[in-house]
Amino acid sequence: MRRILFITLLIVGAANLLFAQKAPKPVSINGALSVKDGQVVNQHGVPPELHGLSFSWSVWQGRKYYNTNVVDWICKDFKVSLIRASMAVQPDHGYLQEPDSQKQLIVNVVDEAIKKGIYVLIDWHDHNSYLHIPQSKQFFGEMAQKYKGAPNVIYEVWNEPERVSWDTVKNYAVRVITEIRKYDPDNLIVVGSPHWDQDVDIAAVSPITGFKNIAYSFHFYASDPNHQDGLRAKADKAIKMGLPLLVTEWGVGEASGNGVFDLDENKKWVDWLKQNKLSWVNWNITDKDETTALLKPGASPEGGWEQGDLTPDGVYIHTLLQGLNK
């Protein structure tokens, strides 16, 4: 009897493993993303509703998590369908100073995301991109040549423009988009908007034309007192005007990355995201001692995190993602 039970358990375990291996991946389900009728849609013409995590700045505490083991772990345990590789540009040891090492960090994450069958944002994580146009064109030209035809890859050409005009953002974006489209005619490109990706209503008045598959990033911090009804109204207006949005960054705390973590305000925002069928990534994979960090200080740089390694943010997002991405 014990032998029969043992054999049965082996068969069930093997079957479960086989099912897990054969379970369809997000990219195989959704295919190449595009823009249609003011929305980001999948190969079936419907919003893919992707959800996942953003790596932190690829310098400081966040750098150590830019490895294949972490990508594998968040795919397995957090059930992510979309991740964001946030390449630091201006800080010390960022792309402007160390382009080769920074580029390799991004490539490591992107290549593993492709292997795992999930989507990945290549994020030029810069607040002043209009000052770095030659470097941005060089970087995205290389990325487009390397990843053209890979439906997993999304190009995010300017993380968060600060207090600059929409014309400044738009002119920069057109130049970088033109470079990408020399090599990759189809993959989704995400453009920022003024005021840390909040003024999407302004971008909606005069969107970029002449290129296909262009979306716009929208950012918010759910507990920030300045990121409530008024900010949702700006996004609602942009959506109504037909501006395709992708939430490439949001946090559970305040815009500083720290501050309070208000569960009620987070629920309002999560409900709003679902109502509008928007894809999103949450900020951020790091062990920095602040509200929006996923991990407690000292958490392993190789993944494999247990509940005790997660901050309140990490526990909340882990539960949310597991529920959304079954």
Which of the residues are catalytic?
A: 160, 249
Sign, Cα dihedral of 9, 14, 18, 21: positive
Tell me how far apart the alpha carbons of residues 31 and 162 are, in angstroms, rounded to a whole number. Answer: 33
Within 10 angstroms of residue 20's Cβ, the number of other Cβ atoms is 9
Nearest to 287 by CA among 278, 279, 296: 296
Task: Determine how many CB atoms are found less than 10 A away from the CB of residue 109.
Answer: 25
Cβ burial 182-197 (10 Å sphere, 16+ → b, else e):
ebbeebbbbbbbbbbb
Main-chain phi, psi angles of 227, to 5 degrees: -120, 55
Paired residues of 120 in beta bridges: 83, 153
Q: Which two tokens stand for residue 168?
A: 């400044």
Task: Compute the C-alpha angle 262/267/270, nearest 5°.
Answer: 125
Q: Cis peptide before 325, with omega less than 30 degrees from 0?
A: no
Q: What is the C-alpha to C-alpha distance for residues 141 and 157, in angstroms, rounded to an integer?
A: 11
